[in-house]
Amino acid sequence: MEPALTVNKITKSYENGTRALRGLSFKVENGDFYALLGPNGAGKSTLIGIITSLVNKTRGEVKVFGYDTDLHPAESKSRLGLVPQEVNFSIFETPMQILINQAGYYGIPRSLANAKSEEYLHTLGLWEQRNTIGRNLSGGMKRRLLIARALVHHPQLLILDEPTAGVDIEIRRSMWSFLREINAAGTTIILTTHYLEEAEHLCRNIGIIDHGKLIHNTSMKSLLMKLGNETFILDLDQPLTALPSIDHYPLRQIDSTTLEVDVDRKRGLNPLFAALLAHSINVTSLRNKANRLEELFIKIVSENSDGMGSNP
């Protein structure tokens, strides 16, 4: 079966000389939930623009389910749905009109467009606002409308460019569960986000772009395995009288009932808990100091930037 997306040696140079993408190649398999990460200005949005025909590429080829976007634009576009980073619907139209229009641009007959629009307005909690003009929708509603619009023609590949930016945690989590559902139903999803927790929760595979190059393209699991150490915060049931010394587990006291510890992933947590118990220290809860992917992402990108600095 053809991959959902094939990006082959894509280069993008702007007229001002900026090289946004430098021969970037990767594939996203059918059914995948793929995270496309990178710092600001790495080239993520340019790449998404090229895939969705909103940006002209300089060189290279893009195929969506085997259809070249240059040679077979209708076939490739009909399989794609885009949730853009910024709100880009007419603020004078209602959600119902926006969805029906979008379905019409994909050649979907009016009766079916009505049914699909109603379905997605219900699913994304916008039914009550179906006749409210876009300008009067809240930020979260606008974001959900962008998702509904991208899905109304039932795309096989959905690209989400920072879909939850500026959305409160409740809506974000409901979006996550919705995206998981449509992925489980067979839609391939590519997600870019600055919330690395989001990428870690949702995505199975990950690509990291920096300075227009793909510097990592692997499974989420194997990427996280590269994280040698994790820092944990431990909450204690009683104030600590003296900080114990435990081999291989450097402890730091944050306050009287909170400890911080660096844990080598190979050693695990069990020896630490055993040693703490031996010192009559009871741990009531534990959490990661920072998101694991976030730590790794910062490390990878800073290493890459150092490399770029020495060899521009």
Partner 1 sequence: MSPMGLWIGFTTLLCKEIRRFTRIWLQTLLPPVITTTLYFLIFGNLIGPRIGEMEGYRYMDFIVPGLIIMAVITNSYANVSSSFFSARFQRFVEEMMVSPMPPWVMLIGYTCGGLARGMVVGVVVTVVSLFFSQLQIHNLGVVLSVVVLTSILFSLAGFSNGLFARNFDDISIIPIFVLTPLTYLGGVFYSIRLLPEFWQALSLANPILYMINAFRYGFLGISDISLPLSYAMTVGFILILFGVNLALLNRGYRMRS
Q: C-beta of 103: minimal distance to partner 1 in Å? A: 8
CB of 22 to partner 1, least distance (A): 17
In angstroms, what is the minimal distance from the CB of 106 to partner 1? 6
* Nearer to partner 1 (CB atom), residue 55 or residue 275: 55
Decide whether 2 or 70 has the Cβ nearer to partner 1: 70
235: tokens are: 């909450």
Pick the closer one to partner 1 by CB: 28 or 82. 82
30 binds partner 1 (CB under 8 A): no
- 268 touches partner 1 by CB under 8 A: no
Using CB under 8 A as the binding criterion, the count of chain residues that bind partner 1 stands at 34
Residue 229 forms beta bridges with which residues? 264
* Binder among 74, 227, 243, 308 for partner 1 (CB under 8 A): 74
**HSE of 7, CA atoms in CB hemisphere, 13 A:** 26
Q: How far is the CB of 59 from partner 1 (least distance, A)?
A: 16
| Residue of 26, 89, 120, 297 that binds partner 1 (CB under 8 A) | 89
Q: How far is the CB of 284 from partner 1 (least distance, A)?
A: 51
Interaction with partner 1 in 92-151: which residues (CB under 8 A)?
92, 97, 100-102, 104-110, 149
Asked if 73 interacts with partner 1 (CB under 8 A), we say yes
Q: How far is the CB of 149 from partner 1 (least distance, A)?
A: 7
Residue range at the interface with partner 1 (CB under 8 A); choices 54-62, 117-125, 168-176, 210-218: 54-62
- Is there a contact between 220 and 231 (Cβ–Cβ < 8 Å)? no
Judged by the rule CB under 8 A, the positions of this chain that interact with partner 1 are 14, 49, 52-56, 73-75, 77-78, 80, 82, 84, 86, 88-92, 97, 100-102, 104-110, 149, 153
